[in-house]
Amino acid sequence: MIPAWAFVSAGLTPVVLIAAWLIAGELQPSSYSPMRQTVSVLSGHAGADSWVMTGGLVLVGIGYLVTAAGMSMIGRAARLGLVAAGVAAIGVALCPVPSHGSTPSHMFWTGVGELAIASWPVLMILGAAAARPPDLRVTVVASAVSCALLIWLVYELHEGSHLGFAERLTSSAQVTWPFVVALGLRRRRVVGSRDPSAADPVRPSPLPSCSRPG
């Protein structure tokens, strides 16, 4: 069963991420465009009150690590994927972008984090025998959606004009999936505990003892 602290961590991680960029976005000057500019700008040297987004990224990274520690039933590959995403989120926070352009370290951690969390549904499928995801078909759909969002994000990075929107939508969907899995596993546990068929098998009654002849 998933510990309560891991379940809460999985649920709070997307809330913290979205709240951080919404609050940080409100603190920016009117020239900032969430449709065109990325979340990294909010935590970078050019961002106003960059500590808000930086703190949010650190909390998201810790949330991934805590969730990975508690979800021991999802398989090693999926847990390592969450660990990689958590370390990368903290790495992004500790390597802010300059006022103009980016840095190799920031790009490295951003790439690692995006690949780790984007591939997480696929890692769930690879460990399906151990993890038993809530619904394998839903997991396959989540994998396809995650890959499609990643392709869109790469396109916006090079050709599009809505990079900020693509990044936020992609991140929102991907960061929520661990909580969906945690919720499904927790519900399965509750249903299984109420299912009479999941109870201990009925022990056969002992054979009646033969009475002695009178």
Neighbours of 209 (CB within 10 A): 6
pTM for the full model? Answer: 0.82
Is residue 65 within 8 Å of residue 11, measured between CB atoms? no
What is the C-alpha separation between 58 and 14, in angstroms, rounded?
13
Quick one: DSSP state of residue 198? G
Angle between helices 4-26 and 163-194 (to 10 degrees): 160
Average pLDDT per run of 10 along the chain, which is 214 residues long?
91 96 94 91 91 96 96 88 96 92 91 89 70 64 86 88 92 91 76 48 46 47
Q: How far apart are CA 75 and CA 170, in angstroms?
A: 24
* Contact in structure between 106 and 46 (CB atoms under 8 Å): no
Tokens at 203, concatenated: 């022990």
Tokens of 207: 């054979």
Q: Tokens standing for 89?
A: 């989120």
Q: Which of 24, 31, 20 is nearest to 48 (CA)?
A: 24
